[in-house]
Amino acid sequence: QVQLVESGGGLVQPGGSLRLSCAASGIIFRINTMGWYRQAPGKQRELVAAITTGGTTNYLDSVKGRFTISRDNAKNTVYLQMNSLKSEDTAVYYCNNFPNGNLNWGQGTQVTVSS
């Protein structure tokens, strides 16, 4: 059974940092391109960052230079380092494969950027 468990979210002030983690089980993690997605209230879910099996990354324009996606295939885990956070980054963050996003979605982790 596929399971994705996100963690690391929280409340942070503008300009602060958070590191999100997503632990995957039930899949051959190393062959999947993985992505971090987010969904803000009243908005559609969007891709924030993705990382291929070979480590190639791509980012949403609005997070370039601030967010870094990485993966540890030995731990079946994908990370999202978020720096210089802005209020518009407030959302529930999820991981899934990319581009299909067809694994069972986890519960996500809430990121709130507010002073």
Over its C-alpha atoms, the chain yields an Rg (Å, rounded) of 13
Strands 109-113, 10-12: parallel, antiparallel or unpaired by DSSP? parallel
pLDDT tens sequence across 26-65: 888 888 999 999 999 999 999 999 999 999 999 999 999 9
What is the pLDDT at residue 51?
Answer: 97
Q: pLDDT value at position 112?
A: 98
Q: Hey, what long-range contacts does 57-64 have (CB within 8 A, 24 or more apart)? A: 62/88, 63/89
pLDDT, tens digit, 9 for 90 and up, residues 67-101: 999 999 999 999 999 999 999 999 999 999 999 88
At 64 the pLDDT is: 98
Q: How confident is residue 2, by pLDDT bands cut at 50, 70 and 90?
A: confident
Q: Within 13 Å of residue 15, how many CA atoms lie on the same side as its CB?
A: 1
Query: Which one is predicted more confidently, 62 or 1?
Result: 62
The answer, yes or no, to whether residue 108 has pLDDT greater than 90, is yes
